[in-house]
């Protein structure tokens, strides 16, 4: 049904390029990381365009996942709704165009104080280092957009909600309003840990939202950072999943599900009573174009089945399928149709 999946986050234009180790070192970037741009990264955005062959792709973690879910579902169009903030500029127009092409129902808050946000995806082999310059994305305002009646009606239409942890740096009050709505109406609220820095420097915001989280996503690096901050005293992914699953929860009608990916290693899922593992689809390393968007695609695949009320193992199967498709392509892009059964 249209608008049954709702996402809210940072709409960014990805600037993707295969770079070299010198470039990473110059800007003190880890090969595989996600960070927010600081002053020392200002030149990076100019240099990457001058020095390397860049491709522009519509990005932003949550928006990617909503698009992938829509792609997996195909019909009807506009199952996925997306809210976020952009600038009144060329990059903003591209994002609107790409959202239309992906058949998602994007409602952007448009402002002219800041330009549309960008994300430099610095690719080396099968690693990707992401540097996000949020700009306009950081200007999302609850009272200027989410609270407006025509927008809030779209929130109420949804049954599954997904927000990447990245948005915790932008508008905690918007997230809490959506999370509480989901909880009070026994709908599904999903959150992603998104990055180690979210678990470390925004853990107060993260833990304010956690009691409303029905499905928590993360990868092994984020899980380790989360466990450390929460003093779980373990680095074992299965143990971390179990402990995160048991954290306090407001809506007791639903048990939390924790879904942790580990790259090429098996995916770990903790539900009310047990921890299960699911192997990912095998892929020849030489078929991997870039892993940018793999985690977003995993979530998108998972959500596409969740919104259709399919069982957990079917959600995971779809998640693994979508991630496998995306890593064979540049950026978070996909072929015309999925061949998922």
% of the chain exceeding 90 in pLDDT: 87
**What does the pLDDT read at residue 332?**
67
Q: What is the DSSP-derived secondary structure letter of residue 112?
A: S
Question: Residue 267's beta-bridge partner residues?
Answer: 278
**What does the pLDDT read at residue 184?**
98
Q: What is the DSSP-derived secondary structure letter of residue 170?
A: T
Q: Could you give the residue numbers annotated as active site?
A: 296
- Name the token pair of 102: 């992906």
How far apart are alpha carbons 9 and 340 in whole angstroms? 27
- Dump pLDDT digits (tens) for 315-340: 999 999 999 999 998 766 787 789 88
Q: Return the number of other C-beta atoms located less than 10 Å from residue 58's C-beta.
A: 24
This prediction has a pTM of 0.93
How far apart are alpha carbons 132 and 122 in whole angstroms? 11
Assess if residue 336 is contained within a domain: no
Report helix, strand and coil shares of the chain as percent, to nearest 5.
45, 25, 35
CATH code, 277: 3.40.1190.20
In total, how many domains does the chain have?
1
- Whether cis (ω within 30° of 0) applies to the bond prior to 150 is no
CB 126 within 8 A of CB 102: no
How far apart are alpha carbons 10 and 164 in whole angstroms? 9
Question: What is the pLDDT of the chain when averaged over all its residues?
Answer: 94
- Dump pLDDT digits (tens) for 183-207: 999 999 999 999 999 999 999 999 9
Domain interval for residue 187: 5-11+59-115+135-327
Assess if residue 44 is contained within a domain: no
Assess if residue 53 is contained within a domain: no
Assess if residue 22 is contained within a domain: no
């Amino acid at each position: 049904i249209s608008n049954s999946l709702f996402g809210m986050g940072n709409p960014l234009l990805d600037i993707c390029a295969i770079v070299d180790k010198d470039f990473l070192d110059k800007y003190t970037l880890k090969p595989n990381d996600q960070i927010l741009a600081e002053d020392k990264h200002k030149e990076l955005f100019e240099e990457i365009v001058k020095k390397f062959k860049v491709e522009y792709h519509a990005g932003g973690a949550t928006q990617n996942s909503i698009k992938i879910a829509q792609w997996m579902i195909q019909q009807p169009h506009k199952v996925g709704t997306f809210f976020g903030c952009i600038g009144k500029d060329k990059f903003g127009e591209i994002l609107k165009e790409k959202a239309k092409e992906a058949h998602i129902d994007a409602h952007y808050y448009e402002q002219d104080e800041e330009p549309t946000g960008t994300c430099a995806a610095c690719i080396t082999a099968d690693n990707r280092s992401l540097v996000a310059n949020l700009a306009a994305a950081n200007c999302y305002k609850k009272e200027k957009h989410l609270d407006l009646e025509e927008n809030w009606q779209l929130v109420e239409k949804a049954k599954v909600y997904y927000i990447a942890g990245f948005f915790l740096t932008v508008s905690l009050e918007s997230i809490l309003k959506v999370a509480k709505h989901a909880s009070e109406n026994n709908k599904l609220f999903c959150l992603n840990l998104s990055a180690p820095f979210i678990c470390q420097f925004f853990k107060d915001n993260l833990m304010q939202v956690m009691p409303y989280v029905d499905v928590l996503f993360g990868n092994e690096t984020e899980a380790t950072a989360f466990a450390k901050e929460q003093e779980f005293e373990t680095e074992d992914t299965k143990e971390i999943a179990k402990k995160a699953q048991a954290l306090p929860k407001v809506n007791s009608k639903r048990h939390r599900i924790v879904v942790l990916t580990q790259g090429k290693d098996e995916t770990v899922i903790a539900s009310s009573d047990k921890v299960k593992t699911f192997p990912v689809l095998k892929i020849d390393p030489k078929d991997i174009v870039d892993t940018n968007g793999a985690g977003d695609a995993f979530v998108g695949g998972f959500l596409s089945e969740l919104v259709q009320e399919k069982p957990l193992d079917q959600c995971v199967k779809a998640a693994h399928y979508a991630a496998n498709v995306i890593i064979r392509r540049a950026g978070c892009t996909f072929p015309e149709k999925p061949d998922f059964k």
